[in-house]
Amino acid sequence: MLGASNNIEISHRRITAEVLARLRVVQGRFARGDRNAGRVILKECDLSNLDFSSSCFAGAHFIACSFANANLTDADFSRTMLFGSNFERANLTRTNFESANLQAATFDEATMEDTRLDRADIRKGTLIHGSEKEGTASYQEIETSFREAELRGTNFTNAFLRNANFDGAKLDNVKLKGADLRGSSFHGAELKNVDASQALIQDADFRSASLEGVELGESLSLLAAAPAAPMEKESLETIIADHERWVASGGKDGKRASFAEQNLSGHDLAGRNLATICFNYANLSGANFSRMVLAACSFQYANLRGADLTGSDLRGADFSHAVITNAKLESCITGALPGTGLSTVIERND
């Protein structure tokens, strides 16, 4: 619809490839400063699976729109209003979001290679459903999410990422220099060669995260929940032996173990009996947990990326919010654990 100001305004529509081509021409003229050109303004429109590659939508408005599975390779969305929009599983390779408003946006499982988000506003925001004027409005607070996203060479320099969710994401050679990461969550995330110098990271949660070549400057001491150092094999063996005696004796001998928030990544514990242990927020990436008794264990928010649980007894185990990307779960025993009322809870995202 052509507005009085020559803006193109569309709401609650499925946008076709043909319509997108027309919008691309209009916004291109606007971005180049054509006085007679209007701005593209879309609200709650479905743009999923469309091809935006090499398009220029700088300065456009896409409010609460869906770009799920879309291809935005080499597209220019700088200074664009994208409040509440959804980019799940989208290809954002070399997409330019410089200085864009991405509050309450979702990037879960997106591919973000060499994506520019410098100076972008990526904080949580509140979506309004219904009409305030008619008294039917409801409010939904949404935090920006990058869960399970692939970020390689992504530039977040000086970006506003307060309370953002990076759980299970892979960050390789990512720039977070000067970014506001206060209150952000990195449960089970893998960070490699990441520059977070001068970043604000107070109250950020890195439990169960894997950090390799990460530059946090002097900010590390400000973390409320830092990743644990890898556990030594000797200490681990002593704790497990005590726990196995505790299980075998019905609690009369030994000591029940807890590995909550511990780093057991890469350890080989195949065939051991670790029933009822708490692994919440633990880093178990690449661990060998095959043929183990893990009944009634809690793995909430644990990092099990690439772990091998083949043939293990998982009856009554709770994997809520755990990262299990590429984990091996073949031939596992799952379901109800007799006499406990517990049943296996597994959430797969890969």
What's the confidence (pLDDT) of residue 2? 42
Q: What is the mean pLDDT of residues 105-116?
A: 97
Q: Which of 29-43, 224-238, 261-275, 283-297 has the lowest mean pLDDT?
A: 224-238
Query: pLDDT grade, residue 37 (50/70/90)?
Result: confident
Q: 211 pLDDT exceeds 90?
A: no
What's the confidence (pLDDT) of residue 40? 96
The pTM of this model reads: 0.84
Q: For all residues of the chain together, what is the average pLDDT?
A: 90
Domain spans of the chain, in order of start: 230-350
* Beta strands 8-11; 40-43: pairing state: parallel
Phi, psi dihedral angles at 108 (to 5 degrees):
-60, 130
Distance (Å) of CA 305 to CA 209, 283, 327: 11, 9, 6
Query: pLDDT grade, residue 4 (50/70/90)?
Result: very low
pLDDT digits 0-9 by tens, 65-96: 999 999 999 999 999 999 999 999 999 999 99
What's the confidence (pLDDT) of residue 51? 98
Q: What is the mean pLDDT of residues 125-142?
A: 67
pLDDT digits 0-9 by tens, 303-332: 999 999 999 999 999 999 999 989 999 999
Q: What is the mean pLDDT of residues 27-33?
A: 90
Stronger pLDDT, 228 or 96, i.e. the higher one: 96
Task: Compute the chain's Rg from CA coordinates.
Answer: 24
Bridge partners (DSSP) of residue 313 are 293, 333
What's the confidence (pLDDT) of residue 49? 98
**CA dist., res. 141 & res. 84, Å (int):** 10
Percent of the chain with pLDDT over 70: 91
CB contact set of 344 (below 8 Å; sequence gap of 6+)? 314, 315, 316, 317, 318, 319, 334, 335
Q: What is the CATH number of domain 230-350?
A: 2.160.20.80
Distance (Å) of CA 33 to CA 28, 30, 202, 210: 9, 5, 41, 46
The three-state secondary structure class of 233 is: helix
Structural tokens at position 311? 């043939």
Query: pLDDT grade, residue 202 (50/70/90)?
Result: confident
What's the confidence (pLDDT) of residue 281? 94
